[in-house]
Chains A and B, each alone.
Chain A
Amino acid sequence: MAAVLLPILVLIVCAALLSVGMFVVAQLLGPRRVTKVKQMPYESGMDPAHDARRRFDFRFHAVAVAFLVFDVELLFLYPWAVANAVVNRDQQGLARVADAVAVPMWSPGLVFAEMLVFVGLLSVGYVYAWRRGVFRWR
């Protein structure tokens, strides 16, 4: 596994070196003239009234929670999709494996039905969230 993932590390290190290098070179080459006005936050020419980090809309939080709920549930379907194809494509091979580890063989229909139950539950949650106005945005 390490051998498969090693190239990814190589790419990430190279990309990090490149972007940090670009930043450092530009810092060394560029001029540096600090003025009072330049130091201020840009607000289209107005003097800023207060710090920018204040309370913001709750709906951003609601969207984040909804995303977490649905995305984590979505992640379950990826392993299912791969496992489903394996179960369907290689019946004999799977039966051999099931025999060897003494586990009852799952039929493709059952694997498919399990997904349907899961998606059904997901849909109930989705309809509930919609009715509660999580997706309303105005």
Chain B
Amino acid sequence: MNQAIVLEALIKTVIVIGGLATGAAYLVLLERKMAAWVQDRIGPNRAGIPLTDIRLGGLGQPLADGLKVLFKEDFTPAHVDRWLFTLAPVLILVAAFAAFAVIPFGSVLPVRSAATGTGAPVSLVIAPGVNVAVLYVFAVSSIAVYGVILGGWASNNKYSLLGGLRSSAQLIAYELPMGLGLLGIVVAAGSLNLEEIIVRQAAGGWYVLLQPLGFIVFVVAAFAEAARLPFDLPECEQELVGGYHTEYSGMRLLLFLLTEFLHMITAAALIVILFLGGWHLPGGLTGSTDEVGWFGALARVVVLVGKVFLVIVVFMLVRWSWPRFRYDQLMSLAWKVMLPLGMVNFLTVAVLEQVRWAWRLEGPYWTALLAAAAWGVCAIAVVLLAVAAPGVADNRGCRFTESEEQTG
């Protein structure tokens, strides 16, 4: 039975890793095209089929880039810690891949699985039925901090060390709001399993509608965890050259860059799975039960991947629309704004769920009423925040921190 499990996992692993690696390569192209589109340029459009004049609008670019990196010198400077210098990119990439063990990329196939021996259908997730999936994703994505700080430390370069310190402080600071944003969902769903969280949303409404404040907190924290603009302090080319990967070149640099795109895919997938209903679409195209035909199973995969793709497009549009935070703004946003907001969200959801259970308030009417209450709390929190801390809300200078020095 174990062999069947390993075989099934191996097949899914090859699909997932292949898909992710290819996807990340083409997301680089998409990002460059998007930048060009925002800035009214054309973007990469030369690389096509080699030895011919067919250009395919630049679709050959990722392949050309990959080959180029493969034949480049991967240089180890004399002043670095050789082992840690190599370990850092490998570790961070493995951790980024490992997160996808429990992230579903569809629902189930209408085929009985031979591996589990229970006659359950084949799940479209590498490790189905992990009952601590949410905690596992958290644990594994925390390892990224090690990769960053090892890379910065091993490089023995001032830019790298500063970048590594900054970005590790940022990553751990935003892990708290991320966890709090998620906590509301765990309270409502009563499960840490991502597949089950999707099923509950398919039955009882998407969590973005039921917990708007949690969605805001989680999305902001997800941007910061993926180190995307406006939170790309770890790299910030203009200040720290390249941050923790200043001294890297060739393939080890590629491993770091690949990891960044994997983190973006992870963040987008988590947003979709936790808040945007996963494979569920209203209207009955994808259904809401485990009994599904081939068409439904494939439709669910397409819907899930399509949603993830759309969220990634939003990530990229944000990158080319907003400037970067200053470091003190970044830290006060995490500790003084997002953490209390996450706490408010958690308490709101906990109280509303408790009310629902205590009086058995079932049905769409009560769901809508409780959602309205959550939206009300969200609106009040945002307004209060804007009144209490205008320096943060309008993002102008450091009035907020200055006034604090006078009082405290």
CA distance A8 to B101 in the complex (A): 6
* Known interface pairs A43-B157, A74-B179; A30-B72 also in contact (CB < 8 Å): yes
Q: Which residues of A in the span 86-126 have a Cβ within 8 Å of any Cβ on B?
A: 86, 88-89, 108-109, 112, 115, 119, 123, 126
CB contacts (< 8 Å) of A7 on chain B: these are: 5-6, 8-9, 12-13, 101, 126-128
Q: Is the interface of A mostly helix, strand, loop or mixed?
A: helix
A137 touches B158 (CB 8 A): no
Q: What is the 8 Å Cβ interface bit string for chain A, positions 1-40, against chain B (1 contact, 0 not)?
A: 0011111101110111011101101110111110000111
* B-chain residues with CB within 8 Å of residue A84 when the two chains form the complex: 187, 190, 350, 353
Cβ contact within 8 Å between A26 and B9:
no
CB distance from A83 to the nearest CB of B (A): 9
Cβ contact of B173, chosen from A26, A53, A67, A108, cutoff 8 A: A67
B357 CB, nearest partner CB in chain A, Å:
4
User: What DSSP secondary structure best describes chain B's contact surface?
Assistant: helix
Number of interface residues, chain A, beta carbon within 8 A = 70
What is the total number of residues of chain B having a CB less than 8 Å from a CB of chain A? 96
Contacts of B14 in A (CB 8 A): 14
Q: Are B343 and A135 in contact (CB under 8 A)?
A: no
> Judging by beta carbons under 8 Å apart, are B401 and A6 in contact?
no
In B157-199, which residues have CB < 8 Å from any A CB? 157-162, 165, 168-169, 172-173, 175-176, 179-180, 183, 186-187, 189-192
CA distance A82 to B134 in the complex (A): 12
Task: Verify A41–B247 contact, CB threshold 8 A.
Answer: yes
Residues from chain B with a CB closer than 8 A to the CB of A86 are: 190
Given contacts A19-B255, A126-B339, contact A39 B78 (CB under 8 A): yes
Docked complex Cα distance between A5 and B72 (Å): 38
Instruction: Write out the residue numbers on chain A whose beta carbons fall within 8 Å of the beta carbon of B306.
Output: none
Q: How far is the CB of B208 from chain A (nearest CB, A)?
A: 19
Give the shortest distance, in Å, between B322 (CB) and chain A (any CB): 21
Q: Which residues of A contact B (CB under 8 A)?
A: 3-8, 10-12, 14-16, 18-20, 22-23, 25-27, 29-33, 38-44, 48, 51-53, 56-57, 60, 63-64, 66-67, 70-71, 74, 77-78, 81-82, 84-86, 88-89, 108-109, 112, 115, 119, 123, 126, 130-131, 133-138
Give the 5 A-B CB pairs with smallest separation, nearest first: A85-B190, A26-B251, A7-B9, A15-B97, A39-B78
Can you pick out 25 interface pairs between chain A and chain B where the beta carbons lie within 8 Å of each other? A7-B6, A7-B12, A7-B126, A12-B98, A15-B94, A15-B98, A18-B97, A19-B89, A19-B255, A26-B70, A31-B71, A38-B77, A41-B79, A41-B158, A51-B156, A53-B156, A60-B169, A77-B346, A81-B186, A115-B350, A119-B346, A134-B335, A136-B401, A137-B327, A138-B405
